[in-house]
Amino acid sequence: MAGYMNAELEAIRLNLICTHCQVSFQGTDSQARKVKYEKAKVYCSSICRSTATSIRLTKPQLTQGPCKTCGKAFSSKRPKTYCSIKCYTSSKQFIDMQAENLAGIRERPTVRSHSKSSSGRPPIPKETIHCRECNKETPKTSKTRAYCSQVCYRAYMAKRFDRHIANPQEISLIQGYDEFLDQDELECIIEGCTWVGKHLSLHINLAHGIQASEVKRAAGFSLSSGIVAKPLAESLRQRELVGVAKNPNTIGLELARLAIKNKPKKYRSKETNEHLLKTRSLMIEGPVRTCLHCGIDFRQSTRFGKTLYCTKECRAAKYAAIDQKKPKKKRERQLNGTFKWV
């Protein structure tokens, strides 16, 4: 029945999941019915739909390779060595580079300075750090801060990761976000467009009629990332703060939050996942553990979690030994024709 809606369909309509970017959004009645009765795929925007279609129907041209880790050919605009960041972080080249560079970075001393207090109280010590990229001294505003700006963070990561991995730089295949935004000029990621400039999101909005938030979700960028070239990002960063950027406790911020209340939410970008993988790869090794199967001491590859086995083989052997100790169950046919495990 056309136009039929009930409470269940309304709940589905308010919490639809985009098949491409996985964002939660409020869709139409028709989309809710198609998800419920036809198990159809739905998208939050037309750009997500066209990008997903391009991924499904377009076969990438494998112009580079083979990858030194997995041995597969891959697509890239510039000559690269590895097909993905996972292959690069698993390579001997990255492991050797990490061992050589991490020692100096981790041993940099933290400088403490004292500020004068006008209230007569004892001066409060302030910590400063040296930016890993430009070596500029900057206040340490958080426990994990290691860069003076987002621009330096991207440049640092691009030099150590993205320059080795493939960069197709197409909206359906984009990866290496730091290298992409660390350029002096950006190329349009919409297929068939030859525009080159500094403010890509503005160009896509004016020339292609696509909102910045929509193209960011379709391409995998974080919603807080400006899709602008490095020189423009540096000049924008040097502007004087005004409005909610200067004073968050204003009515303007509340109005902005109300305006985006019903916008798509629960979005986790590919750029965020890439940054997490890079940051985790650069962290120091974890503690020494004892393998539960062979009893050999080994060093955990990361300081997160608790690794129980030194290798996958030890884990498989331990599980196999546990399975052998379990009593074997058998099936018996019942009078009604069904089976029962005993």
> 264 or 186: which carries more pLDDT confidence?
186
Name the domain count of the chain. 3
Last residue of a domain, one of 219, 238, 257: 238
In a shared domain, residues 175 and 84: yes
In a shared domain, residues 148 and 233: yes
The predicted model gives 105-131 an average pLDDT of 58
In a domain, 301, yes or no: yes
In a domain, 122, yes or no: no
- Is the model's pLDDT at 113 over the cut of 50? no
In a shared domain, residues 52 and 183: no
Give the pLDDT band (50/70/90) at residue 126: low
Is cis: bond before 287, omega within 30 of 0? no
In a domain, 245, yes or no: no
In a shared domain, residues 144 and 232: yes
- Residue numbers of the domain that contains 316: 285-341
In a shared domain, residues 224 and 295: no
In a shared domain, residues 211 and 293: no
Q: What is the pLDDT of residue 169?
A: 63
In a domain, 43, yes or no: yes
Q: What is the pLDDT of residue 89?
A: 84
Contact 78, 167 (CB under 8 A): yes
CA angle 75, 220, 206 (to 5 degrees): 100
User: Which residues are registered as beta bridge partners of 186?
Assistant: 197
Q: Comparing C-alpha atoms, which of 147, 172, 197 is closest to residue 61?
A: 172
In a domain, 274, yes or no: no
In a shared domain, residues 295 and 195: no
In a domain, 114, yes or no: no
In a shared domain, residues 145 and 205: yes
In a shared domain, residues 309 and 228: no
Residue-wise pLDDT tens digits, 265-317:
778 888 888 888 888 877 767 788 999 999 999 888 777 788 899 888 999 99
The predicted model gives 52-69 an average pLDDT of 79
In a shared domain, residues 227 and 79: yes
In a domain, 148, yes or no: yes
In a domain, 265, yes or no: no
Q: What is the pLDDT of residue 42?
A: 92
Q: Which single residue is written with the structure tokens 């308010």?
A: 14
In a shared domain, residues 193 and 69: yes
- Is the model's pLDDT at 81 over the cut of 60? yes
- Is the model's pLDDT at 105 over the cut of 60? no
Q: Which single residue is written with the structure tokens 């990761």?
A: 161
- Report d(CA 238, CA 234) in Å as an integer: 7
The predicted model gives 31-35 an average pLDDT of 90
Global pTM reads 0.67
In a shared domain, residues 201 and 296: no
